[in-house]
């Protein structure tokens, strides 16, 4: 007898006919990503599902309705929940499948929908009911019901698809990319599959067609009001300040993550709702130190973590990835130096630019991690040695910068850099978890208790483009004032007012669009972070011939 986990849900048959790779990603790797279509479909199905009244007969005139009826077939190895089974006196029952879309114009229903519907009828037959001659698809968008004849040819094709699904589920490599790339535009898994990017990195194309969404759909909720607490009101998080004044709210449907800074409380109901929706809750200290996160469970992608650990313990391959990280970071530091010093160069500047360029070349051939870290440290010292000159002269009186210092930061510039790096580490850890990585197993940063080494590895690509660039722009444009900081005995932190300003600037920077250096399309920085993790995952699993870092121009 098959285990219940071995049965293929009939909805996955629909995915297979649409695209075999989508079936593999969803069924074998357990990957799923929402988009506007999936969210709308789930919302409209809530009325159909009739939770708590599953399979109960309801008579409507001459027809008996049973909603959310579950069946399984050991013979076929499939399982499914039928939206609606209609029964008429003296005639066999038949399934009705609900689709959120509009009825296809001047054509039969799509084959993938017909296969899913036929599989539901086969489930009814294998559970002692008569196989109906026809079934129906109800299109919610146009309020139209379309008849689907269950012909012998359709039954045979459905059984063939079931067998093909079993074969794909037994393989360790995803099926080839679909040639009909138009399907990719409406697919919610396009940011996971990366069909165009995969072909570019394999050398089959020079530019990628822009299928990947340019930005992440959901939002980040930051709460840093001291003593605030979060409660649940239907599907919204309500934020209340001490004294009972409501200061904000956020829809759970639109949230990607929640960040709580300092002494902020969240009710159990909020925690449970976030866990059910896979919305992580990140905790930071009042001064911006990242503490940890509350998340639902470890990502299903165990194969990826196995590959990650295998290369972590392979010194040769781990060093290859570490070199890519350092070279990309050095490139970004040199680019930012040239941007900010282009109007204020003196005779010594070319020497500094060439110094970083020389260290980058040496990093490309470093034969061990210690040597590589030496080159990275030297390049960082050159970069921060000129950092004060990136600030406008009229702003340097309150924003002096002598050196990079932390734990604790001793001046406003370092306070903002440290807070920004904490937020960036949080974002990288969250993106790595969404992809399926173990964020504590890296390739460049050493493994220590509590250190998210992989998140810090990927973070190196984005320190200069996101945090340093944002901090310098905010300082030079007069966004921050002296009263945005708390300074006491050689220690400096952003106060509550300053943190709110910083969080707003940081989120705006993450949403800025940048042209990708390899794929040549524009996407947001926050999407680029996730893209780097996705590409790394494909490389570790042997689906890409090489891995490339990210650098700005």
- Over its length of 553 residues, how does the chain's per-residue pLDDT go in tens digits? 455 558 899 999 999 998 898 998 888 877 766 544 455 445 555 555 555 566 677 777 788 888 888 899 999 999 999 988 988 877 788 899 998 888 888 888 889 999 999 999 999 999 988 888 899 999 988 888 999 999 999 999 999 999 999 999 888 778 888 777 778 877 888 888 888 888 888 888 777 777 777 767 678 888 888 888 899 888 889 999 888 888 888 888 888 888 888 888 899 998 898 888 888 888 888 777 778 778 776 777 778 889 999 999 999 999 999 999 999 999 999 999 888 887 655 544 677 778 888 999 999 999 999 999 999 999 999 999 888 888 888 888 889 888 888 888 999 999 999 999 999 999 998 899 888 898 889 999 988 877 889 999 999 999 999 999 999 999 999 999 888 898 888 888 988 899 899 999 999 999 999 988 888 888 999 999 999 999 999 999 888 888 999 998 8
DSSP 286: T
Question: What is the rounded distance in angstroms from the CA atom of residue 473 to the CA atom of residue 493?
Answer: 19
Whether the CB-CB separation of 97 and 122 falls below 8 Å is answered with no
In a domain, 210, yes or no: no
Question: What is the rounded distance in angstroms from the CA atom of residue 438 to the CA atom of residue 22?
Answer: 24
Whether the CB-CB separation of 213 and 34 falls below 8 Å is answered with no
Domain end position, chosen among 278, 294, 310: 294
Is the same domain home to 129 and 264? no
Is the same domain home to 14 and 142? yes
Question: What is the rounded distance in angstroms from the CA atom of residue 322 to the CA atom of residue 316?
Answer: 10
For residue 270, the domain's CATH number is 3.100.10.20
Is the same domain home to 111 and 248? no
Is the same domain home to 247 and 119? no
**What residues make up the domain containing 246?**
219-294
Is the same domain home to 9 and 114? yes
Beta strand 246-251 pairing with 236-240? antiparallel
Whether the CB-CB separation of 24 and 192 falls below 8 Å is answered with no
Is the same domain home to 52 and 169? yes
Residue linked to tokens 């066999």: 92
DSSP 44: H
DSSP 233: E
Question: What is the rounded distance in angstroms from the CA atom of residue 465 to the CA atom of residue 475?
Answer: 16
Is the same domain home to 102 and 169? yes
Q: What's the domain count of the chain?
A: 2
Measured CA distances, 41 to 79, 140, 208, 216 (Å) = 20, 10, 29, 19
Q: How many CA atoms lie within 13 A of 460 on its CB side?
A: 26
Biggest distance spanned by C-alpha atoms of the chain: 96
Whether the CB-CB separation of 439 and 430 falls below 8 Å is answered with no
261 φ, ψ (degrees, to nearest 5): -105, 120
480-486: list long-range contacts, CB under 8 Å, 24+ apart. Answer: 480/412, 480/416, 482/398, 484/412, 485/412, 485/415
Is the same domain home to 87 and 143? yes
Bridge partners for 85 per DSSP: 66, 95
Q: In sequence order, which residues have a C-beta less than 8 Å from that of residue 215 and are 6 or more positions away?
A: 511, 513, 523, 524, 526, 527
Domain end position, chosen among 159, 193, 227: 193
465 φ, ψ (degrees, to nearest 5): -65, -35
For residue 88, the domain's CATH number is 3.90.320.10
In a domain, 330, yes or no: no
- The structure's pTM equals 0.81
Is the same domain home to 17 and 123? yes
Is the same domain home to 174 and 224? no
């Amino acid at each position: 007898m098959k285990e219940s986990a071995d049965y293929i849900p009939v909805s996955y048959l629909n995915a297979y006919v649409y695209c075999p790779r989508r079936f593999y990603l969803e069924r074998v790797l357990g990957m799923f990503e929402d988009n506007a279509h999936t969210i709308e479909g789930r919302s409209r199905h809530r009325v159909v599902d009739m939770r708590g009244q599953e399979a109960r007969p309801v008579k409507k005139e001459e027809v008996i309705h049973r909603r959310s009826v579950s069946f399984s077939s050991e013979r076929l190895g499939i399982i499914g929940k039928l939206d609606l089974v209609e029964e008429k006196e003296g005639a066999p029952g038949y399934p009705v499948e609900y689709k959120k879309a509009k009825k296809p114009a001047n054509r039969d229903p799509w084959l993938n929908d017909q296969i899913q519907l036929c599989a539901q009828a086969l489930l009814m037959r294998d559970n002692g009911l008569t196989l109906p001659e026809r079934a129906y698809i109800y299109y919610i968008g146009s309020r139209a019901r379309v008849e689907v004849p269950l012909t012998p040819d359709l039954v045979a094709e459905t059984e063939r698809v079931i067998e093909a699904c079993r074969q794909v589920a037994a393989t360790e490599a995803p099926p080839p990319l679909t040639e009909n790339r138009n399907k990719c535009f409406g697919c919610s898994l396009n940011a996971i599959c990366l069909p165009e990017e995969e072909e570019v990195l394999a050398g089959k194309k020079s530019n990628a067609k822009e299928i990947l969404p340019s930005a992440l759909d959901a939002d980040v909720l930051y709460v840093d009001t001291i003593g605030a607490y979060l409660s649940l009101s239907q599907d919204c998080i309500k934020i209340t300040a001490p004294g009972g004044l409501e200061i904000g709210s956020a829809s759970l449907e639109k949230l990607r993550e929640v960040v709580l800074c300092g002494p902020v409380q969240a009710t159990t109901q909020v925690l449970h709702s976030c866990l059910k929706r896979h919305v992580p809750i990140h905790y930071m200290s009042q001064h911006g130190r990242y503490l940890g996160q509350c998340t639902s469970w470890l990502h299903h992608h165990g194969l990826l973590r196995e590959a990650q650990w295998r290369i972590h313990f392979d010194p040769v391959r781990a060093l290859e990835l570490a070199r890519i990280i350092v070279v990309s970071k050095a490139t970004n530091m040199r680019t930012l130096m040239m941007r900010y010093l282009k109007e204020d160069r003196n005779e010594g500047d070319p020497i500094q630019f060439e110094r970083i360029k020389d260290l980058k070349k040496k990093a490309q051939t470093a034969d061990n991690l210690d040597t590589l870290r030496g080159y990275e440290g030297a390049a960082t010292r050159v970069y921060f040695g000129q950092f004060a000159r990136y600030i406008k002269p009229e702003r340097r009186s309150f924003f002096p910068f002598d050196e990079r210092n932390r734990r604790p930061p001793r001046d406003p510039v370092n306070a903002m850099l440290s807070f920004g790096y904490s937020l960036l580490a949080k974002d990288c850890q969250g993106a790595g978890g969404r992809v399926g990585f173990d964020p504590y197993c890296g390739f460049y940063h050493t493994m220590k208790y509590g250190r998210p080494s992989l998140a810090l590895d990927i973070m190196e690509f984005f320190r200069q483009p996101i945090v340093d660039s944002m901090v310098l722009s905010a300082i030079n444009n007069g966004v921050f004032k002296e009263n945005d900081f708390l300074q006491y005995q050689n220690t400096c932190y952003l106060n509550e007012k300053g943190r709110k300003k910083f969080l707003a600037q940081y989120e705006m920077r993450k949403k800025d669009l940048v042209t990708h250096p390899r794929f040549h399309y524009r996407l947001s920085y926050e999407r680029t972070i996730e893209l780097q993790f996705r590409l790394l995952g494909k490389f570790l699993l042997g689906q890409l011939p090489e891995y490339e870092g990210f650098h700005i121009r």
